[in-house]
Structure 1
Amino acid sequence: MKQYFVHIIHIIYCALWCLVLALPARAQHVVDDRRLPDSLQRVLAKAGPLKDQTEALFGLSDYYSTRDTTKALDYARQALDRSKQDAYLSAIAHFYLAGVYFEFNPDRSQEEYLYAEKQLAKFPQPEALVYRSRAWNNYGALEQRRDNTRGYIDILINKALPLAQQAGDSTRVALNYHNIGLVLLNMGDYGRALQYFPRAIAIMEANTTVYADLADAYVLSARASLLQGKSAMAKPLLDKARKVLTPNPDSPYWPLYYAVEGAYYRAVGDRAKAHQSLAQGLILADRMQDRFEKRSLLYEQFNLYKDEKNYTAARNLLQQGLALEASFPLSKNKRQWLYDLAETEKQAGNMEAAFTWMRQYALLSDSIHANQTNTEIARLEAQFRTTEKEKQILTLEHEKKIDARDRKFQVLLLLSVIAGLLLIASLAVMRLRYRQRMAARREEEHQAELEKKNYAALMDGQEQERQRMARDLHDGLGCQLSAVKLNLSRINAESAREAQSLQLVTDQLDQSIRELRWISRNMMPESLLTLGLTDALKDLCGSVMSAQLRVVYNAYHIDAALPLSTQTMIYRMIQEIISNAVKHAGASVILLQCSQEEDRFFITVEDNGKGFDPATVQSGGIGLKNIRNRVEYFKGSLVIESSPEGTIINIELNVASAT
């Protein structure tokens, strides 16, 4: 019997993997949160907005969820009651209610997380995405506690992490990397765990705010390094974790820290420091009522006593751990405790006790295997039934398809005919509308051409009439007045009084002749006919200059071959603008610049007058209206900028359109 027992022990020893106790995934926490309840209570004391009040209740519920379940539940229910009228806040309230039930009612907790996630999915804001990521994370953590570790890592990778990335929350992404590393650590995949912990650490270290989760990542990364046999990598990580946690001696992360620190000292052979670290961790775990970390600390201490061959102390620690295991659902861990008890009793020479523990281990292993087998059989049966139903459904669907195929063909044929008729009708309507649009466009172009021709004829008629009147005034009346002046000059006055009277009449006659010549030149400037537009504009500027008015004129690249009608219309526009600046604006300086680039003619007139409102002048001013008509005739543009400091007029003409 002894040989059979030893054989069983050997087989089981080869099959077992090193125990890694499953750790719960934590939310983001500040290093020192001892003042948090007071600050949140002050928010509640103020009659602030509903969002501020409910967020304070959320914070209090989250704070007490690991310290005082009664208080945490009370705050969560208050938040749920206050947020009834706000669907978004109500969904978040269910999230925090799930957090309260996390430890003592996992089924209710998972229900609340799923409900909160479903309600939050209706809201697109990043905060809602973050809460959904947290809900899936915590739901998966409970699945891990149900011994469904692979289900948890699937949720992390396919649900929690993508939602955090979609929200653009780098801290939440880091926490998901942290939790993925934690699950891989629990699964014994230390190499891959050490790929995810550094990702989380890099993001958290770059954050301006230092969270206690960074210490947690350091400690777990150190644990993975120890389990890989890389003790030298663990110590710097533990030192960084201690630096983060030191400001808060009551941090719930200390027990885990001491558990890993004790494992480190055991790995490097410093058993005294290992005992000291583990004892400190157990004191804190008992004070914080942290059963989870206490279990981890007990197992590390058991390994330490086993190394020292103190089997009595090792057995006592294993029995404490086994008793503590009754409050956890992970049967695999319980199986490990039983196996270690059997091994410890064997090493102590208590073969009967070792056999008793090994029998319990074997029974539990058979039970686990049976449960897994039953689960697999149930899954296969469900899959078989689903396959049979799918076959029946496919058969019925095939028959329905055969019956419906003819009807579908007839319907498609009818729809095709209707679609063809509609297409033909649509094309006919579109063609008719196109013809109507083209006819309307041709009519508009014809009317515009007629208006242009009429306007050109009107302008030509006006200019011809002005030329005729100018010639009549100059050649007729002007000559007569000159003859009268000549005759008057031949009269000899007999007395000084008569000579004075005669001189007065002669002066008045000279004034009349000059006025007549000015009118004649304005009606048709002789320089425009003889010298061209450039010189005609120069004469125009010179004629209006006086002691009170200075006119600056510049001309560039003006084509002397422009048609006379075009030159005349440009001259009239500038004449009107200068006249307005002198008569109405009271300008003392006028700047005129004309230039030409191929078929584009540019006019800029700037004065320092008192300005005007183009909108009011447009409706009643004949001069400005004439200018606009001429600009439109040339298919050009007119821009007026006027203020009390002066006026700037920019005109661009297409002189090719007038030819």
Structure 2
Amino acid sequence: MASTSTSLDLFVLIFGGALAMLILVAGVVAFTVLYQKRIYKQTLLVKQMEVKHQQELIYHTFEGIETERKRVARDLHDDIGAALSAMRLLVGQMISQQGETEVLAERCKQLIDNTIQSVRTISNDLLPHGLEELGLAYSLEGLCEEAANLTDADVCCDVIDLPATRPNLNLLLYRIVQELLNNAVKYAGATQISIQLTEETGDYLFVYADNGQGFDFSSAYQKKSLGLKNIETRARMLGSQVLFQTAPSAGLRVSIAIPKSSYL
């Protein structure tokens, strides 16, 4: 009986010790997992803060550029444009007087007309005509009309107005469309160009499409195409991601889902 009792006590002791070790090991594993999870969360939070900081830096950089563009555009319009208009009026008066200066005055008048048109074009590129006063839809329709005048393509523009609460965001989208249309006119060789901006449940959906020659996106992206990078950066500043769908001889489709929360 004594031997049996001793064996039982020894078994209980071994079992209890093994159980205690298992509990200790489980505790160490649980602590390690929780600690690693906490470290991961902290690392993720730091990365998110870094990304947010970078986005803020990029946003403020673009904001500074656009502010300077507005200043230069107003200076061109108010100062240089006004001076050229006055000069044109004076030359017109010279033409009305018969004499040897008539031919020279006509040449000067033509040169001034060309300069005035150049100033208007530069001013409009720097500060989109009507964007702040008449809204995004008006300005995008104007871009599409200009593109249609520069190419034989059929340009379809079906857009809505976005809230005026964040004018800088509207300007970002305007620049994206401007970049896409410029590329289409210069390189795409498209016969059909479509721009749509619609309202979805939680987003504003922008879609650009053309049937041009397309391109190898991976190759262009690896070459750090400035146009693609500018569109991608502006899309991030809109709180979105841009989706490029293209291939050689397959046209181009660009989609951007802009969260409505960006305009709150």
TM > 0.5 between the two?
yes
TM-score by length of 2: 0.88
Given the alignment, which residue of 518, 542, 554 partners 2:158?
554
Q: Deviation of residue 473 (structure 1)?
A: 0.9
| Largest Rg, 1 or 2 | 1
Match of 2:247 in 1: 642
Pair 1:592–1:627, CA change in 2 (3 A): same
The 5 Å alignment of 1:46-445 reads 404-445=7-48
Match of 1:535 in 2: 138
Give the letter aligned to residue 534 of structure 1.
A
Q: 2-side partners of 1:533 and 1:582: how far apart?
A: 21
Give the letter aligned to residue 69 of structure 2.
R
Match of 2:113 in 1: 510
**Identity, % of aligned pairs?**
25
Pair 1:621–1:655, CA change in 2 (3 A): farther
Check whether the contact 1:608–1:646 (CA below 8 A) recurs between aligned residues: yes
Pair 1:588–1:515, CA change in 2 (3 A): farther
Deviations 1:361-384 (A, max 9, x none): xxxxxxxxxxxxxxxxxxxxxxxx
SS of match in other structure, 1:551: strand
Q: 1-side partners of 2:192 and 2:4: how far apart?
A: 92
Q: Deviation of residue 494 (structure 1)?
A: 4.1
Whether 1:465 aligns to 2:72 is no
Check whether the contact 2:81–2:119 (CA below 8 A) recurs between aligned residues: yes
Check whether the contact 2:94–2:101 (CA below 8 A) recurs between aligned residues: no
Q: 2-side partners of 1:610 and 1:588: how far apart?
A: 10
Give the letter aligned to residue 649 of structure 1.
V
Check whether the contact 1:566–1:655 (CA below 8 A) recurs between aligned residues: no
Match of 1:653 in 2: 258
Given the alignment, which residue of 171, 178, 182 partners 1:579?
182
Give the letter aligned to residue 624 of structure 1.
L
* Structure that is richer in helix per residue: 1
Q: 1-side partners of 2:111 and 2:102: how far apart?
A: 14
Whether 1:499 aligns to 2:102 is yes
Give the letter aligned to residue 483 of structure 1.
A
Q: 1-side partners of 2:207 and 2:4: how far apart?
A: 80
Give the letter aligned to residue 544 of structure 1.
A
Q: Deviation of residue 444 (structure 1)?
A: 1.3
Whether 1:481 aligns to 2:84 is yes
Given the alignment, which residue of 232, 255, 264 partners 1:628?
232
Give the letter aligned to residue 429 of structure 1.
T
Deviations 1:12-53 (A, max 9, x none): xxxxxxxxxxxxxxxxxxxxxxxxxxxxxxxxxxxxxxxxxx
Q: 2-side partners of 1:549 and 1:477: how far apart?
A: 34
Q: Deviation of residue 523 (structure 1)?
A: 1.1
Q: Deviation of residue 625 (structure 1)?
A: 0.5
Check whether the contact 2:165–2:263 (CA below 8 A) recurs between aligned residues: no
SS of match in other structure, 1:525: coil
Q: Deviation of residue 500 (structure 1)?
A: 2.6
Pair 1:606–1:465, CA change in 2 (3 A): same
TM-score by length of 1: 0.37
SS of match in other structure, 1:584: helix
Pair 1:617–1:658, CA change in 2 (3 A): farther
Deviations 1:204-251 (A, max 9, x none): xxxxxxxxxxxxxxxxxxxxxxxxxxxxxxxxxxxxxxxxxxxxxxxx
- Equivalent residues, number: 259
SS of match in other structure, 1:610: coil
Deviations 1:450-479 (A, max 9, x none): 112112211211111111111011111111
Give the letter aligned to residue 618 of structure 1.
Y
Q: Deviation of residue 401 (structure 1)?
A: 7.8
Q: Deviation of residue 526 (structure 1)?
A: 2.5
Q: 2-side partners of 1:639 and 1:404: how far apart?
A: 75
Give the letter aligned to residue 607 of structure 1.
D
Q: Deviation of residue 430 (structure 1)?
A: 2.6
Match of 1:311 in 2: none
Q: 1-side partners of 2:58 and 2:202: how far apart?
A: 21
Higher relative contact order structure (alpha carbons within 8 Å, sequence separation ≥ 6):
2
SS of match in other structure, 1:512: helix
Pair 1:461–1:655, CA change in 2 (3 A): farther
Q: Deviation of residue 404 (structure 1)?
A: 4.5
Given the alignment, which residue of 197, 214, 219 partners 1:616?
219
Q: 2-side partners of 1:647 and 1:435: how far apart?
A: 44
SS of match in other structure, 1:652: strand
Check whether the contact 2:215–2:246 (CA below 8 A) recurs between aligned residues: no
Pair 1:622–1:401, CA change in 2 (3 A): farther
SS of match in other structure, 1:481: helix
SS of match in other structure, 2:258: strand
Pair 1:588–1:562, CA change in 2 (3 A): farther
SS of match in other structure, 1:554: strand
Q: Deviation of residue 596 (structure 1)?
A: 1.8
Q: Deviation of residue 411 (structure 1)?
A: 0.9
Q: 1-side partners of 2:242 and 2:6: how far apart?
A: 72
Q: Deviation of residue 553 (structure 1)?
A: 0.7
Give the letter aligned to residue 184 of structure 2.
A
Q: 2-side partners of 1:562 and 1:467: how far apart?
A: 19
Pair 1:645–1:434, CA change in 2 (3 A): closer
Match of 2:206 in 1: 603
Q: Which runs of 5+ in 1 are unaligned?
A: 1-399
Q: 1-side partners of 2:63 and 2:216: how far apart?
A: 31
Check whether the contact 2:244–2:252 (CA below 8 A) recurs between aligned residues: no
Pair 1:590–1:513, CA change in 2 (3 A): same
Pair 1:638–1:645, CA change in 2 (3 A): closer
Deviations 1:45-88 (A, max 9, x none): xxxxxxxxxxxxxxxxxxxxxxxxxxxxxxxxxxxxxxxxxxxx
Q: 2-side partners of 1:474 and 1:502: how far apart?
A: 24
